[in-house]
Structure 1
Amino acid sequence: MQDATGPNSSDYSTDAAPGYPRTASGMDGRRMEYPACSGSLGLGEHRVIRHVPGSIDKDGLCYCVIYLPNNVIPLKQLEQLQHAAQELLSKYEQELSRINEYARTIEDNDNQILEVNGALKSRNPIAPAVSYESPAFNLLRLELEGAQELVAQLKTKGSVRAGDILYQLQSQVANASLTLKLLADSDQRSFRALRQEVDVLQSRVSECEREKEQEEASRNPDEPLPPGSCAHGGLQKVSRPIVVQLNWRGFSYKAGAWGRDSAPNSSSSLYWVAPLRTDGRYFDYYRLHKSYDDLVLLKNYEQRKMGFGDGSGNTVYKNFMYFNYYGTGEIAKVDLSSNSLVLRRPLPGATYNNRFSYAGVPWKDLDFASDEKGLWVLYATEESKGNLVVSRLNPSTLDVEETWRTSQYKPALSGAFMACGMLYALRSLSTRQEEIFYAFDTTTGKEHHLSILLDKMLETLQGINYCSLDHKLYVYNDGYLVNYDLSFLPLKHRLPTPPAKRPYEA
Structure 2
Amino acid sequence: MHQTLLLLFLLLSPALAWLPMEDWESGNVTTSGGGLECVCSVFLPDSSFPADRVQHMQQATTDLRLELEIHMNKLVHYGGKLDIFLGELLDLTVRVAMLESSPDNYIKLDFELLRIELREFEALVSQLKGSLNSSSPLFDSVYTEIRNMTLIVNQLETYDKSNLEVIRIEFAKLQKKLEECQKEQEIIKPDIGNCNHTGIMSVSKPTVIQLNAHLNPGYLYGGWGKDSKPVRGHESMYWYGAYSSPSVYEFYLYSNYNKLLQRSSFTHHGLPQGYEGTGNNYIVHGNAVYYQAANPVRMTKLNLTSSVYSHRQITKASQRFTYTYSPNQYLDFSADEEGLWVMYASEEAMGKIVVAKLDEKSFGIEDEWTTGAFKPLVGNAFMVCGVMYATRPGDLKTEEIYYSYNTLTGEERYMSIPLQKFQDTFVNLHYNPTDQRLYMYSSGYYVSYNLRFNEE
**Bin for the TM-score computed over the shorter chain:** 0.5 to 0.7
- CA 1:225/1:427 → structure 2, altered by over 3 Å: closer, same or farther? farther
Q: Distance in 2 between matches of 1:329 and 1:350?
A: 9
Q: Distance in 1 between matches of 2:221 and 2:311?
A: 24
For 1:444-455, list aligned pairs within 5 A.
Answer: 444-455=409-420
| CA displacement, residues 130-160 of structure 1 (integer Å, 9 cap, x when unaligned) | xxxxxxxxxxxxxxxxxxxxxxxxxxxxxxx
Q: Distance in 1 between matches of 2:388 and 2:426?
A: 17
Report the AA paired with residue 407 of structure 1. G
Give the conservation status (yes or no) of the 8 Å contact 2:231–2:287: no
Q: Distance in 2 between matches of 1:350 and 1:266?
A: 35
1:350 is aligned to 2:317: yes
Partner of 1:258: 224
Q: Distance in 1 between matches of 2:308 and 2:447?
A: 29
SS at 2:258 equivalent = helix
For 1:422-461, list aligned pairs within 5 A.
Answer: 422-461=387-426
SS at 2:249 equivalent = strand
1:399 is aligned to 2:364: yes
For 1:82-121, list aligned pairs within 5 A.
Answer: none
- CA 1:476/1:444 → structure 2, altered by over 3 Å: closer, same or farther? same
Larger Rg: 1
SS at 2:259 equivalent = helix
- CA 1:416/1:296 → structure 2, altered by over 3 Å: closer, same or farther? same
SS at 1:461 equivalent = coil
Give the conservation status (yes or no) of the 8 Å contact 1:432–1:457: yes
Partner of 1:230: 195
1:325 is aligned to 2:290: no
Give the conservation status (yes or no) of the 8 Å contact 1:333–1:344: yes
Structure of greater relative contact order (alpha carbons < 8 Å, 6+ residues apart): 2
1:421 is aligned to 2:386: yes
For 1:276-291, list aligned pairs within 5 A.
Answer: 276=243, 278-279=244-245, 281-291=246-256
- Alpha-carbon distance, 1:313 to partner: 1.5
SS at 1:482 equivalent = strand
- CA 1:232/1:274 → structure 2, altered by over 3 Å: closer, same or farther? same
Aligned alpha-carbon RMSD (Å): 1.6
Give the conservation status (yes or no) of the 8 Å contact 2:223–2:441: yes
Q: Distance in 1 between matches of 2:315 and 2:341?
A: 14
| CA displacement, residues 428-472 of structure 1 (integer Å, 9 cap, x when unaligned) | 101211000111111111110111101111111200121101000
When you count helix as a share of all residues, which structure comes out higher?
2
Give the conservation status (yes or no) of the 8 Å contact 1:345–1:398: yes
Q: Distance in 2 between matches of 1:303 and 1:265?
A: 19
| CA displacement, residues 393-417 of structure 1 (integer Å, 9 cap, x when unaligned) | 1112111100000111100000000
Partner of 2:242: 275
Give the conservation status (yes or no) of the 8 Å contact 1:329–1:351: no
- CA 1:471/1:266 → structure 2, altered by over 3 Å: closer, same or farther? farther
| CA displacement, residues 291-331 of structure 1 (integer Å, 9 cap, x when unaligned) | 11211222221122115111102011100111111132311
Report the AA paired with residue 286 of structure 2. K
Partner of 1:312: 280
Q: Distance in 2 between matches of 1:306 and 1:265?
A: 22
- CA 1:225/1:435 → structure 2, altered by over 3 Å: closer, same or farther? farther
Partner of 2:373: 408
Give the conservation status (yes or no) of the 8 Å contact 1:266–1:318: no
Q: Distance in 1 between matches of 2:232 and 2:202?
A: 26
Q: Distance in 2 between matches of 1:377 and 1:466?
A: 13
Give the conservation status (yes or no) of the 8 Å contact 1:262–1:318: yes
- Report percent identity of matched pairs: 35
Q: Distance in 2 between matches of 1:396 and 1:310?
A: 24
Which ranges of structure 2 fall in alignment gaps of 5 or more residues?
Answer: 1-187
Report the AA paired with residue 325 of structure 1. A
Q: Distance in 1 between matches of 2:367 and 2:446?
A: 32
SS at 1:296 equivalent = helix
Q: Distance in 2 between matches of 1:437 and 1:306?
A: 36
Partner of 1:488: 453
Partner of 1:334: 302
Give the conservation status (yes or no) of the 8 Å contact 2:323–2:377: yes
Give the conservation status (yes or no) of the 8 Å contact 1:360–1:460: yes
Q: Distance in 2 between matches of 1:264 and 1:316?
A: 9
Give the conservation status (yes or no) of the 8 Å contact 1:435–1:453: yes
Q: Distance in 2 between matches of 1:465 and 1:316?
A: 11
- CA 1:403/1:328 → structure 2, altered by over 3 Å: closer, same or farther? same
- Alpha-carbon distance, 1:264 to partner: 7.3
Matched residue pairs, number?
Answer: 264
Give the conservation status (yes or no) of the 8 Å contact 1:323–1:333: yes
SS at 2:324 equivalent = coil
Q: Distance in 1 between matches of 2:212 and 2:449?
A: 17
Give the conservation status (yes or no) of the 8 Å contact 1:333–1:342: yes
Q: Distance in 1 between matches of 2:346 and 2:205?
A: 34
1:377 is aligned to 2:342: yes
Q: Distance in 1 between matches of 2:189 and 2:419?
A: 21
Partner of 1:102: none
- CA 1:237/1:225 → structure 2, altered by over 3 Å: closer, same or farther? farther
SS at 1:411 equivalent = helix
Report the AA paired with residue 387 of structure 2. M
- Alpha-carbon distance, 1:245 to partner: 1.2
Give the conservation status (yes or no) of the 8 Å contact 1:376–1:390: yes
